[in-house]
Amino acid sequence: MKDIIVVIGTGSIGQAIARRVSAGKHVLLADLKQENAEAAAKVLSEAGFEVSTCIVDVSSRTSVQALIQTATQLGQIGGVIHAAGVSPSQASPEVILKVDLYGTAVILEEFGQVIRSGGSCIVISSQSGHRLPALTQDEDRILATTPAEELLQQPMLQPDVIRDSLHAYQISKRGNSLRVMAEAVRWGKRGARVNTISPGIIITPLTKDELTGPRGEGYRNMLKLSPAGRAGTPDEVAALGALLMGPEGTFITGSDFLMDGGVTAAYWFGELAPISVSK
C-alpha cells in the first residue's frame, strides 16, 4: 500500500519539508485555498513527486475528517506535516485561537487515530510560544490535555483574559508544543511519533511583506540584534524536519525545537530584552 505524506498548509515551509521526506511516496497537499494547493502541486509534480490536492479548514473537525478519508483512500498515512496557521497581523484573537490552538488539537486527535506504525508528524509552531512567561502547572495541563471541543471554553482563553492577537498567538503556540508533548504518549501506542518545530523569522513571501510593512522596522531590528544576525530559510527548517521524520530521529518524540537564530535568547538575555524582562 502506498505511503501517504499529508501536508496541511502548502506554503514554503510545508513544501520544503515535503521535498525532503516524500521521495517514492504520495504527497497529499491540503490548504484552505484550492489555488494554493494547486500551485504547490505544480511545483512538486514538476520535481518528480506524485501529488494530489485537497481543501481543508483546520478549524473544522468535519473538514479534517474529510481530509483523512481522502488520504486513507490513497494509501496508509505515514507522515503529517502540519504547517497551517494565521499570524497576529492577519487575524483576530478569536480566529487565531480557533485555527492555531483548536485546529492543531483537532489535527493531532484525528490523525493520531490513523497514523501507521512507524509514522511521524511535524507541527510547525513559532518562536512566539517561547516569549510567553511561564504558565502555571494547571494552565500547562489545560493547554496540553483538554479535549479539543472543550478547549476554547476554558477560562484562561476567554476574551477578558486574552489581551490581543499577539497574546492569543503566543498562547496558541505554547499550547501547540504542550499538546504535542501530551499527544506523543498516545501516538506512541500506535508506534508513531510527533514533534514540534518553533521557527523564528523565516523568509517566505508573507515574511517579505511583513519586513517591508508597518511592523517591518521591529522585525528588522529583531534580526539585527539576534546572535545569527539574519532570517532563516525554509530549507533550514526542512533539514530539521527531515531529521525528525526520518530514520535518524526515531528516538525523538514529544519534543519542541526552537530554531530562531537566537532571537529568543536575545529577548530574554540580550539586547532585545524589554525593560521589565532585563531588570
Q: Which residues are known catalytic residues? A: 169, 173
| Helix, strand, coil fractions of the chain, as percent rounded to 5 | 50, 15, 35
| Sign of the four-CA dihedral 59, 61, 63, 68 | positive
Provide the b/e sequence for 11-39 (b: ≥16 CB within 10 Å): bbbbbbbbbbbbeebbbbbbbbeeebbee
C-alpha 89/C-alpha 69 separation (Å) is 33
C-alpha 72/C-alpha 75 separation (Å) is 5
Pairing of strands 120-124, 76-82: parallel
Name the region of 209 (left: φ>0; alpha: ψ -120 to 50; beta: rest). Answer: alpha
Q: By the 8 A CB rule, do 59 and 98 touch?
A: yes
